[in-house]
Structure 1
C-alpha cells in the first residue's frame, strides 16, 4: 500500500466526510495507480475512517436547506454513487420538521416578495417564481396548488394559463 495515498485520504477525511466515490476521484486526480487507490481505500474502510452514512446525511441536509425536493436529492446522490432511499431522505425531512410543501412556500415567497403592481410584470415574476421552484425538483402540480392556495389569499391573482 502506498503510504502517500493513505496519508492523503486521512488528511482529506480529517477536515470533513467524503463518499468512497469522491475519495477515489481525488486519488485519481493525484495520479495514484489503481492498485494503490484500492489499497488505501480498503485501509481507511478497515479502520472505520470512511463514514459514508454521515456524508450522505450531511448532503441531504445541505440540499434540503436549499429547498430541493426529496426526488431531486435522491437523483443528486445517485450521481455521487450513493445509494440512499427516498424513504431515508423523507425520514431526515421529518426529523428536521421540513416538508416539501413548506419548501415550495418558502421558494415562492422568496421570489414573489415585492410583487410588481404592473399586471404584465407581475405575471413574469410569477412565472419566474414557478420556474425557480421547479428547478429545485418540485412537482409542477404541487407548486401550482401551493401558489394558488397560499398566494391568492395574499391578493396575488393566479391565472390558470401559467402551466
Structure 2
C-alpha cells in the first residue's frame, strides 16, 4: 500500500500548487514521520507533480499584480521558503512588459480614485507614500510617481 503521506500530498496538489517547503509544512501538520514526508515529497518531485518553478512564477505574477516591488517579491518568497533570484523576478516583469513605474501609477490611481487631484493635501500624500513604501517601493520613486500623477 502507498505511503499515506504520499496520498495526502497528492490530494493537496490536486487542489492547488505548493512549494516544497509549504508541502512539507502541510504534511508535518498531519503528523507524518520525517521519513514518510521525505519519501512522499521525493516521489511527487520525481513524478513532476510538484513543480516549484511554476509555483514561484505564479507567486511572482500574483505579487506583481498586487503592486509589490521586485525586491519585496523576492523577500516574500524567501519568507515562504522559496528561492528566487532577483533576476528571475525582473525577467518576469520584463516578460509581461510591466515596470515598477507602472505599478506605482496603478497603486496611486487606485488610492486617489475618489479624490480630485486638487484636493490632495500633505497628510494624504504622506499616507500614499507610506502605502507605496509598504509595497517595497523606494521613497524617491514613489514621490516622483506621485508628483507626476498629480501634475497630469
Query: What TM-score, normalized by structure 1, do the two folds share?
Result: 0.86
Q: Distance in 2 between matches of 1:24 and 1:42?
A: 11
Q: Distance in 2 between matches of 1:36 and 1:101?
A: 47
Q: Distance in 1 between matches of 2:52 and 2:68?
A: 21
Counterpart check, 1:113 vs 2:113: yes
Matched residue, 2:73: 73
Matched residue, 2:9: 9
Please say which structure displays the higher CA radius of gyration.
Answer: 1
Matched residue, 1:97: 97
Task: Name the CA shift for 1:117/1:56 in 2 (closer, same or farther; >3 Å).
Answer: closer
Counterpart check, 1:59 vs 2:76: no
Matched residue, 2:147: 148
Greater relative contact order structure (CA < 8 Å, 6+ sep)? 2
Structure 1: unaligned runs, 5 residues or longer:
155-163
Q: Which runs of 4+ in 1 moved over 6 A?
A: 116-119
Q: Distance in 2 between matches of 1:116 and 1:69?
A: 27
**Equivalent residues, number:** 152
Matched residue, 1:84: 84
Q: Distance in 2 between matches of 1:42 and 1:131?
A: 43
Task: Name the CA shift for 1:133/1:117 in 2 (closer, same or farther; >3 Å).
Answer: closer
C-alpha displacement of 1:150: 2.8
